Amino acid sequence: MEHASDLELARRSLAGDESAFAEIVRLYGPRVFRTASRFFRRREQVEEAAQEIFLKAFTQLETYEGRGPLEGWLTRIATNTCLNLTRSARRRPELMAADLSEDQSEWLENRMADAATELQRSFERGRVAADLTERVLETMSSDDRLVLMMVDGEDASVKEVSEATGWSESKVKVQAFRARRRMREAVERLLAHGRRGTGKSLESAGER
Amino acid sequence: MRDEHITAMLDDAPLSTFGESELAVMRSHIAGCDRCRRAFEAARVSSLMLKERAAEEFEPSPFFQTRVLAALREHRAANEAANETWTLGRLWKAAGLLVSSMAVTVAALAVFTFVAPQATTTTTQEVAASSADNSYSAEAVILGEGGASDEKMSYGQVLTTLYGSDDGAAK
């Protein structure tokens, strides 16, 4: 039933019914924004990308045959559009501990100190952590970023990533394995610098 | 398992997906392996960082729909303009071809009208002149013209030329 209405909306949009396309944007805007948020951090960038995704979707609407939900079809277009947009961007060089802001260094130190305790999340701490994550992700490829954000960040399954990207499930697994290792090594280096800088040790953190 | 390093295990799946028994194995290993303890800690922090980053989401603003529709109209208008330009370009090219072919036709007609008749006259005159110079005609033989030819012809040939046709007619 939902597929039929998706197909109906697509057909009406193609026939020039603007209100039908507006309905598609209204229904699936949040999903497209969520996808674009994996790649971009600033609201303007996310909106810009989302707009481009919908324009691309409109031009490809005739390829939608209603075999699956429009949401999945749009997510795939969104993911590939964002991958293309970010692939051309130059990756930043390796992030060094000296490049971190005071807040970010403090957050890392606290994570070591709180190793055995449950995090007390607050908006501010979350923002600092997200800033730091973004800085680490900027040193990685778009593919690494996507797979880490989806699998490790959003607990998406390998199948879901495969559907969103069009990659095979084995490719997703290999990509995730490598990306996870790269991320872990980058964080390990930052933590090592932090330990040297502050004199704190993981050993003491681990004992708590 | 206690002696096996856990780095490959850490990279194989998100830390949050490991069960208690697997975490217990990891903890028992990192108690005696400094390298794996650092890797485990980094994996744990990475996992936290990614969760925090993934928690950041934007909702479309109320104006987003209007913005997309405006962009869509602009996109369509640009496409139509491009199509129009393309059509005009094709028309212009077609017109150019038509004018060129007309010019070629006019030039060809001019050539046939003014140059070709003179060439035809010259050819007729040349044919007439060459006929007049024919040293083997009966008149030339009778009147003894074309002396150079006489020298080349034998007496028998002259007789055959003069009477051969009459003999054929009598038979």
The 3-class SS string of chain B reads: CCCCCCHHHHHHCCHHHCCHHHHHHHHHHHCCCHHHHHHHHHHHHHHHHHHHHHHCCCCCCCCHHHHHHHHHHHHHHHHHHHHHHHHHHHHHHHHHHHHHHHHHHHHHHHHHHHHHHHHHHHHHHHHHHHHHCCCCCHHHHHHCCCHHHHHHCCHHHHHHHHHHHHHHHHC
Q: What is the mean pLDDT of residues A122-144?
A: 85
pLDDT for position B117: 66
- With a cut of 50, say whether residue A182 has pLDDT above it: yes
Instruction: For residues B28 and B159, give the distance between their C-alpha atoms in angstroms, rounded to a whole number.
Output: 139
A193 versus A160: which is more confidently predicted? A160
pLDDT for position A112: 65
Q: What is the mean pLDDT of residues A191-202?
A: 58
Instruction: For residues B55 and B126, give the distance between their C-alpha atoms in angstroms, rounded to a whole number.
Output: 103
Q: What is the number of CB-based contacts under 8 A between chain A and chain B? A: 142
Residue B5 · residue B29 · CB < 8 Å = yes
In chain A, residues with a C-beta closer than 8 Å to the C-beta of B9 are: none
pLDDT (tens, 9 = 90+) of chain B, 171 residues, equals 556 789 999 999 999 899 999 999 999 999 999 999 999 999 999 999 999 999 988 899 989 999 999 999 998 888 887 777 777 777 888 888 888 899 999 999 988 888 776 665 555 556 555 555 555 566 665 666 555 555 566 777 777 777 765 555 554
- With a cut of 80, say whether residue A161 has pLDDT above it: yes
The model's pTM: 0.67
A72: CB partners within 8 A, 6+ apart: A163
Instruction: For residues B170 and A52, give the distance between their C-alpha atoms in angstroms, rounded to a whole number.
Output: 107
pLDDT for position B167: 57
Nearest residue, CB atoms, A149 vs list B43, B44, B50 = B50
Q: Please state, in angstroms and as integers, the Cα–Cα distance from residue B43 to each residue in A153, B16, B96, B108, following that order.
A: 13, 10, 70, 86
Burial readout B155-171 (b: 16 or more C-beta within 10 A, e: otherwise): eeeeeebeeeeeeeeee
Instruction: For residues A29 and A70, give the distance between their C-alpha atoms in angstroms, rounded to a whole number.
Output: 12
A208 — pLDDT class (breaks 50, 70, 90)? very low
pLDDT for position A200: 44
pLDDT for position A60: 94
A202 — pLDDT class (breaks 50, 70, 90)? very low
Cα of B78 to nearest chain A Cα, Å: 13
Instruction: For residues A16 and B79, give the distance between their C-alpha atoms in angstroms, rounded to a whole number.
Output: 14
What one-letter code names the amino acid at B37? R
pLDDT for position B128: 57
3-class DSSP state of A156: coil
Which residue shows structure tokens 């028998």? B156
Contact (CB<8Å) A134/B53: yes
Cα of A6 to nearest chain B Cα, Å: 18
- With a cut of 70, say whether residue A156 has pLDDT above it: yes
What are B's interface residues with A at a Cβ cutoff of 8 A?
7, 10-12, 14, 16-17, 30, 37-39, 41-61, 64-65, 67-69, 71-72, 75
